[in-house]
Amino acid sequence: MRSRIVAYLVTLWVVLTLNFLLPRLLPGDPLSALLDPESSDYVFDAEVRAALEAYYGLDRPLAEQYLAYLKGAVTGDLGRSIRLNQPVAGLLAVHLPWTLLLTGTALGLAALLGLLGGAEAAWKRGSAADRLLTAASVVAGNAPVYFVGMMLLILLGAELGWLPLAGGRTPFARYDGPLAAIADLGRHLVLPAVTLTLSLLGVQFLLVRNSVVGILGEDFMFVARAKGLRPARLKWSHAVRNALLPFVAHLAAHAGLAITGAVFIETLFQYPGMGRLIFEAVGARDYPVIQGVFLVVAVVVLTANLLADGLNARLDPRLAEEVGR
Amino acid sequence: MSVLSRQAVSVVRRLRRAPDLELETALGGAVLGLFLLVALAAPLLAPYGPHAFSGLSLGRPSAAHPLGTNDAGQDILSELIYGARISLAVGLGAALGTVALGLLVGAVAGYAGGPLDALLMRLVDVMLTLPRLPLLILLAAFLGSGLVQTVAIISLLFWPSTARAVRAQVMSARRRSYVKMARNFGGGAGYVLRRHILPAVAPLIAFGLVAAAGRAVAMEAGLAFLGLGDPTAKSWGLMMRFALNLPGLLLTDRWLWWLLPPGLCLTLLILALTYLGMGLERRLHPGLRR
């Protein structure tokens, strides 16, 4: 586990440094353009300009800028938004919970359904149901998530009018109690979460199905069957138990996929999370916000990686032994 | 005949010899071929130019405009047909870029071994853990939008998985006795790479190209949809973005001919590439065919 943590810290440092270097090294010098009165990107608001200058400190030596940047990143100073003239850290704190709610719900649902469905399909491999589910998963996992979302939006939102078209909650709503508030949040969450779940489910179903199919051919399954174990026990305690390892090992990658999906879905459904924030920042060339979102999302995905590694070590006695030593 | 073309012939021969060309793989190839034809013959097929103002704003489908017109009065069918060129060009360009980078890094790491290999593989690990889309957005925001930038950014971010597969293949090929023999008899690194390692890696290249093309097509459309693509290159993603920008689009039936066709074309093309890639992958790892 120690080597994992070292790898995590190294990757974190790479992310921080990349975030620092990219805008400074790339051609066109986009940051200087913000402060150059001749440029079309010139920031007219003197107060915002002063904040930009202070944050990026482009007139100081690179090493000094780097140290100031690292110090800011550690203490939560991520600059000020050009578009909104607010601290980036505050914006991120407002938007992050929405994305965590959306991706967490979708990842949980997709993991549950993917495990159950994948195991069932592998158990009855070659059957009509297996083929249908497999084909559906390929489509769901590969079709552009915003297109799937649009179709759901048109069908369930616009045509049938069952669900709200956009947003994370009803604007200016005053709730009678916490239950009404949760119901409203839930109604707004359904379409984005279903869209994201479908896209993740496509990937997770195939992963579980293919690993279980592989395990069914192993010698220990033959022995277990020869011992006369009941089918349910064979399936869950022997086949699916072993398929959990690749499944958990891929969870971190799926967290990355979920973030990618969330950026598109939040843009489409105007859901107030990190994806929506980065989309709006891109439109306004609001560099501090784009960088802040990248940083936070990278940290979240890296942490998911570390957690998945730790979980896998708990699940796999062979790995746990290595860690214990 | 050069080694590469000889290699291509042998790959084609191996594919043809395959006992069961699955229906899905064949369909994927057919759909991809169809889109290629449409892209090549776009000026013949499209009734108007993709930027020509050929009708009234927001016209309904008619004989003159089978899919109606957009808000600027441009023919949607023509936009759709020319859009195939953008998607396929980006797919091809980024696939070549991704595989070239992956091949280079993977071959160097696998052949050199030692500290260089370890360093390159740590780089691959780091790149595979980074969240791709936010990094893509960050790069696109700073590099500017243009088709060349889009291709470059996608290639820069997607090579690691190819590099890892190529490295594994090179390492296993290097340990084969015939490769050791060739080196014992004085074969230089260049000769061994060309004559023995490349043929072992060739099927991986075919799969890598198709897989990378699929991801690149999806990413280009996604970037265009988010407003980070080339605003002058009217791709399917950009068409969908323009359509969604019209207030209340979803409340009329206009989405039927403005939003649905580019979305369906995009999905079809990505699925065709996916199924083609899955077929090639099964050929690489016969163990997957169970």
Out of A57-71, A127-141, A308-322, B172-186, pick the least confident.
A308-322
The structure tokens listed for A120 are 């069932």
Contacts of B259 in chain A (CB under 8 A): 150
Span B227-255, pLDDT tens digits: 888 888 888 988 888 888 877 777 777 88
Is residue B104 within 8 A of residue B193, CB to CB? The reply is no
Res A324 pLDDT > 50: no
Residues A274-285, mean pLDDT to the nearest whole number: 86
The nearest CA of chain B is from the CA of A177 a distance in Å of 32
Put simply, the answer to whether B266 touches A144 (Cβ < 8 Å) is yes
Contacts of A150 in chain B (CB under 8 A): 240, 244, 250, 255, 259, 263
Res A267 pLDDT > 60: yes
Res A195 pLDDT > 90: yes
Contacts of B143 in chain A (CB under 8 A): 26-28
Is residue A249 within 8 A of residue A211, CB to CB? The reply is no
The structure tokens listed for B174 are 């290097």
Q: Which candidate from A15, A150, A287 shows the least CB-CB separation from B263?
A: A150
CA dihedral A246, A252, A254, A258 (to 10 degrees): 160
B59/B74 Cα distance (integer angstroms): 9
Q: How many Cβ atoms sit within 10 Å of the Cβ of residue B41?
A: 12
Here the ipTM equals 0.83
Q: What is the pLDDT of residue B290?
A: 43
- Return the closest-CA partner of residue A277 out of A88, A19, A110: A88
Q: Which candidate from B130, B142, B250 shows the least CB-CB separation from A298?
A: B130
Q: How many Cβ atoms sit within 10 Å of the Cβ of residue B257?
A: 21
Put simply, the answer to whether B271 touches A165 (Cβ < 8 Å) is no
The nearest CA of chain A is from the CA of B254 a distance in Å of 11
pTM of the model: 0.85
Contacts of A264 in chain B (CB under 8 A): 222, 225-226
Res B1 pLDDT > 50: no
Q: Which candidate from B250, B267, B288 shows the least CB-CB separation from A144?
A: B267
Contacts of B137 in chain A (CB under 8 A): 263, 278, 282, 290, 294
Span A222-264, pLDDT tens digits: 898 888 888 888 888 888 888 888 888 888 788 888 988 999 9
**DSSP readout, A53-66?**
HHHH-TTS-HHHHH
The nearest CA of chain B is from the CA of A137 a distance in Å of 11
Q: What is the pLDDT of residue A11?
A: 87
In angstroms, the Cα distances linking A270 to A265, A274, A276, B222 are 8, 11, 6, 16
Put simply, the answer to whether A279 touches B135 (Cβ < 8 Å) is no
Q: What is the pLDDT of residue B288?
A: 54
Size of interface A-B (CB pairs under 8 A): 128
